[in-house]
Chain A
Amino acid sequence: MIEARALSKRFGALDAVTQATFTARDGQITGLLGPNGAGKSTCLRMLYGVLAPDSGSACIDGIDIRGETSAARAHLGVLPHAAGLYNNLTARENITYFGSLHGMHPERLRERTAGLARSLGMESFLERRVKGFSQGQRIKVALARALVHDPKNLILDEPTNGLDVMAIRNLREILLALRDQGRCILFSSHVMQEVAALCDRVVIIGRGRVLADDTPQSIREGSSAATLEEAFLRVLGDTEGVG
């Protein structure tokens, strides 16, 4: 479970995130939806603890990320916006590096990598150097790297950026499988269709504020819109003047 409790963050004169409160539950995919610059990445960065909130707190499975950073991070996998890999290392070495830094035992690390390679379909390129990988292959390696320590919770920042249709479809299936394992998945996106196709719950964010937090269906009904896209525009329209 990932909880944002009244998170606020200012950068100079800019209120990047204001009093953001929401919860991503286990066994669910929660989508953080908002236009570019709405504060999605800042919000996620506070949740995985690389940014300190000015006020409020973030908890992973009830553990405060600022208070007990290491303990909280042991339960959390992160795929940041820029999920760069080390080109001179093989896919396996990239994954192993992160696993060992999580303090995993080599034996367990090998088993876990083999399991991930199977479930993510990356056995054919596991021993190859990452240089020259396609975007789809890179995202799989980055995802395996985030999942290597078998975290209960997963945060992904715009994971579908730069992926082609096939790779997006592939990633969607992977995320659904992870959800069905009972994991808590929180991902951000500015693409409506993605969120509609995938999420059990949607948090709409605009100008750093949470504008809606509900199931896609309820959001649609609440704003009496035919599609989620329309509902999204209506919800945002109040504050952003989008239209």
Chain B
Amino acid sequence: MRALLIVFVKEFLENLRDRRTLVSALLFGPLFGPLLFGAMVSRMLNQSMVESDEPLHLTVAGADHAPGLIRYLESQDVKLVFAALSEGDARTAVQSGREQVILIVPVDYAARFTAALPAPLLLVADSADSQTRKVADRARQLLTAYGSGIAQLRLQVRGVSPLLAVPVAVNDIDVATPTGRAVVVLGFMTYFVLFAMLMGGLYLAIDSTAGERERGSLEALLSLPVARGSLVGGKILATCAYMCASLAISLTAFVCVFRFVPLERLGMSANLGVGTALEFFAICVPFVPLGAALMAFVASFTRSYREAQTYLTSVLLVPTLPIAFASIYSLKTRSSLMFIPSLSQHLLMTSVLKDEPIAAADVLVSAGSSLCIAMMLFVMTAKHWRREVMLG
């Protein structure tokens, strides 16, 4: 136990003195996620708000053939621009991006409209462009609404109840709570948190195992009267310390960033204050020894710093798999899933965000299973360190 502490202090101190490593582990790793995320979300929100508030701009060719339609569109606050364009001209204008969406009223529109036959309208848009697609959708909605208005009038004139033409009435009931909607947006966050946490210990995990071997200090260390378990334990513990630090920094950064993201303006409340951050920390902390032991285990099998880096980069992706799985199958917090590390942390954090009640048993199972696997990895690493191949 004493040896373990000595190793811990030495590894902690040595890593602390490596400024470049420290900056990358404790600043770039934990801050990159929240900043990128905050910027992304606020841009997304601003954009969607601007779009729904702005009046629709529409270029119309052949407006003379449909005065009734034009009056309707103007009454709906659509900003119309009239142009004399053939169908071919309109296609080129949209394709080249000069115009977003063009509505063409063909010559035979008036005649067919008067004869109560389907009157053609052409809507030229580029559906591959997500911006103009939204404009086209709004235009199409307005045109459909105009059409059904006319249809009802025609039925009434002929003495038929317009209700006959409406056999079913679909009403959307959206059960998403404001927080629930925010969760869709914030779901990604849990991965950033786990990633930053692993990044915090990555360098130390490599340096204290593969690095120790590469710089040739390992053999002297192994010839000391110290149990290999104490050496490995001290190294993993030091890795844990840095992972906890970067976890704390990353959560603090998230709390700060979400102060400035206008989620409330969309009727969402991102439930992320100091209290939530503390709950997140408590949920994630059991994953720390697991991550540290996993990185130490993998790095112990590699021969050089470079090789360890290559392998550990893949290890960093491991916690994403259950999270990706969870979003594909839209898994909800369930006791049977609490045995799976990273997934259980992800689900619990999501529940906290949604303000859902959390069972204490779930938290304990999540923590317990993560710690058990961490212990297994530690024992396996220590066993590997007792083997002669460690000398290289």
Contact = CB atoms under 8 A, between A and B. Distances in A.
Given A51-B388, A74-B225, A80 B6 contact: no
Interface residues of A, number: 35
A125 interface: no
B224 A80 contact: no
A71 B225 CA distance: 8
A84 B220 CA distance: 8
Interface string B203-230: 0000000000001111111111110000
Given A48-B223, A102-B224, A84 B216 contact: yes
B380 to A, nearest CB: 20
B225 A102 contact: yes
Contact of A50 (B17, B215, B223, B225): B223
Nearest to B16: A88
9 contacts: A48-B223, A51-B388, A78-B220, A80-B220, A82-B216, A84-B216, A84-B220, A88-B17, A89-B14
A97 B6 contact: yes
B13 interface: yes
B226 A101 contact: yes
A86 B206 CA distance: 14
B196 to A, nearest CB: 24
Contacts of A71: 225
Contacts of A98: 220, 224
Contacts of B222: 50
Contacts of B391: 45, 50-51
A87 interface: yes
Contacts of A174: none
Interface of B: 2-3, 6-7, 10, 13-14, 17-18, 215-226, 388, 391
A86 B14 contact: yes
A75 to B, nearest CB: 10
A74 B223 CA distance: 10
A69 interface: yes
Contacts of B224: 73, 98, 101-102
A86 B219 CA distance: 13
B388 A88 contact: no
The 3 closest A-B pairs by CB, nearest first: A82-B216, A84-B216, A84-B217
Nearest to B10: A97
A146 B14 contact: no
Nearest to B230: A101
Nearest to B18: A88
B220 A145 contact: yes
A103 B2 contact: yes
Given A73-B225, A88-B17, A102-B225, A80 B219 contact: yes
Given A49-B223, A84-B218, A88-B18, 6 more contacts: A79-B220, A82-B219, A83-B216, A86-B10, A101-B226, A146-B220
Interface in A38-85: 45, 48-52, 69-71, 73-74, 76, 78-85
A170 interface: no
A182 to B, nearest CB: 22
B24 to A, nearest CB: 15
B53 to A, nearest CB: 57
A42 B263 CA distance: 66
A48 B391 CA distance: 13
Contacts of A154: none
A78 to B, nearest CB: 4
B375 to A, nearest CB: 24
B220 A88 contact: no
B26 to A, nearest CB: 16
A97 B208 CA distance: 14
Contact of B220 (A52, A129, A142): A142
Contacts of B221: 101
Contacts of A103: 2-3, 225
A84 B225 CA distance: 18
A135 interface: no
Contacts of B2: 103
A86 B225 contact: no
A73 B223 contact: yes
A239 interface: no
Contact of B217 (A45, A85, A93, A102): A85
Contacts of B225: 69-71, 73-74, 101-103
Contacts of A84: 215-218, 220
B217 A50 contact: no
Contact of B13 (A69, A79, A89): A89
The winner among A48, A79, A82, A89 for most chain B CB atoms within 10 A is A82
A81 B10 contact: no
A52 B388 contact: yes
A101 B219 contact: no
A100 interface: yes
Contacts of B388: 50-52
The winner among B7, B215, B225 for most chain A CB atoms within 10 A is B225
Nearest to A87: B215
Contacts of A88: 14, 17-18
Interface in A83-126: 83-89, 93, 97-98, 100-103
A151 to B, nearest CB: 11
Contacts of B13: 89, 93
